Amino acid sequence: MLDTLQITELSNGIKVVSLEKPHAESVQVAIHARVGSRNETEAQNGASHFIEHMLFKGTAKRSAKAISQAIEGQGGSINAFTDKDNTCYYAKLPYDRALAALEVLGDLYYNSTFDEKELNRERQVIAEEIFMYDDQPDSVAMDRLGSQLWSGHPLGRPILGTLENVLNIPRETLLDYRASQYAPSRTVFSFAGRISHEKCVRAVEKLAGHHSNPTTLRDPEPFSRACPQDPLTLTRRAIQQTQLAFGWRAPGLLEASRLPALSFLSCALGETMMSRLFQNIRERKGLCYSVTSGTTLCQDCGALLITAGCDAAKAANCTKSILAEIRKIIEKPLPTAELRRTRDYLCGRFRLRMDGAPIGWAAGRVLFGLPPDPEAILEGFRNVTAADIQTLAAEILTPERLSLAVVTPEKDRRTPTTWSKLMDY
């Protein structure tokens, strides 16, 4: 499926991944770093995301405006994101500007100056970003849920960091963090479009081949199943709806053999309009407008998540109805027809992703030392049985492993004890 995907590792550990599309008019260029919020200490919380912002604020060669003009002035786009265990800087341009895009991304990645005035201005920008998400009840619920699922672990800290950290973290701390964490051995350059792999490798070698891994490089704190998990948080806000976020710990990326069954579980529960939660909670009972499921995957752990928003008066019924669907999927294997529909959907969705944006998936796999083999993923979906799904459901979707975050209107006076009783299924 990805017969033109090529991977080269430079002598310092940087990997170059390319996917040649001879007839494409565009090229996507990205720099992926295996660094995210889980790499931070508590005092550094928010550093990864702060650095992502600062890399766009200017280099010795380019101002912040010049960085955007260099890409957008050619009709392209440039952006970045920070996650719990990786950060990505990416651009898309007409194919004949591929090396120009690489030069701009490389400049900001390696040469950002972290100007003190820009840094202090960006503190306020990130503070506004924190306020923005804090005004969104569904974001608050997911933030609370993360802290419950990985209580006391770096994975449970907010990616944006705390407001106090953002407003006070010293410039030197950000520079030291970048120097100690942004290592060649944690970096992947990816290209997709009308490009030559050999040309990409030569360009990356020239740009970054001389960088060495820092002696201070440390691995993030590993996840342990002994890590505590908090069952419930209850937050009252001046809002209209109750937001519910359910989470169960699940296998991570390195437990590859179990991930296909996890995908089936999430898909059957709530990823589509034909799913159980959509059909039963929304369509048949009319308890909410939005109800959905999904997974989050880190290297050594993951989670299955369900979110819903409903009228406060319906929240108890909605909670019980969602957990009743969990009980059903534990007690009874998926019927043959549902198993087939779910398999067809997962295979089809994955094939469409490979047709539309495969390089991000492939580079992400390479970043974590996993083989970028789409056929193996499809074969995993084809081999999943109803018994595999039921076994995994019985293992991970138990009441003892459930965390529930509730964000509800101020007028809703139900106590944590009341919500805890609703969690017993």
Q: What is the pLDDT of residues 143-187, one digit of tens each?
A: 999 999 999 999 999 999 999 999 999 999 999 999 999 999 999
Query: CB of 404 within 8 A of CB of 246?
Result: yes
Residues 203 and 249 grouped into a single domain? no
**160 inside domain:** yes
Residues 24 and 162 grouped into a single domain? yes
Residues 10 and 146 grouped into a single domain? yes
Q: What is the pLDDT of residues 371-423, one digit of tens each?
A: 999 999 999 999 999 999 999 999 999 999 999 999 999 999 999 999 999 99
Per-residue pLDDT band at 226 (split at 50, 70, 90): confident
Residues 182 and 48 grouped into a single domain? yes
Residues 131 and 20 grouped into a single domain? yes
Residues 132 and 247 grouped into a single domain? no
**223 inside domain:** no
pLDDT of residue 129: 98
Of 150, 175, 208, the position where a domain reaches its end is 208
- Mean pLDDT, range 43-66, rounded to an integer: 97
pLDDT above 90 (res 66) = yes
Residues 271 and 416 grouped into a single domain? yes
- Mean pLDDT, range 66-82, rounded to an integer: 96
pLDDT of residue 356: 81
Q: What is the overall mean pLDDT for the chain?
A: 96
Q: What is the pLDDT of residues 122-137, one digit of tens each?
A: 999 999 999 999 999 9
CATH code, domain carrying 204? 3.30.830.10
What is the domain range of residue 305?
Answer: 232-422
- Mean pLDDT, range 256-281, rounded to an integer: 98
Residues 29 and 168 grouped into a single domain? yes
- Mean pLDDT, range 15-33, rounded to an integer: 95
- Mean pLDDT, range 65-72, rounded to an integer: 96
Total structural domains in the chain?
A: 2
**246 inside domain:** yes
pLDDT of residue 124: 98
Residues 167 and 238 grouped into a single domain? no
- Name the residue with higher pLDDT: 411 or 2: 411
Residues 238 and 152 grouped into a single domain? no
- Mean pLDDT, range 78-105, rounded to an integer: 96
pLDDT of residue 1: 63
Query: CB of 322 within 8 A of CB of 419?
Result: no
Q: At 334, give phi and psi (nearest 5°).
A: -60, 130
Query: CB of 89 within 8 A of CB of 109?
Result: yes
Residues 269 and 161 grouped into a single domain? no
Written as one letter, the residue type at 85 is D
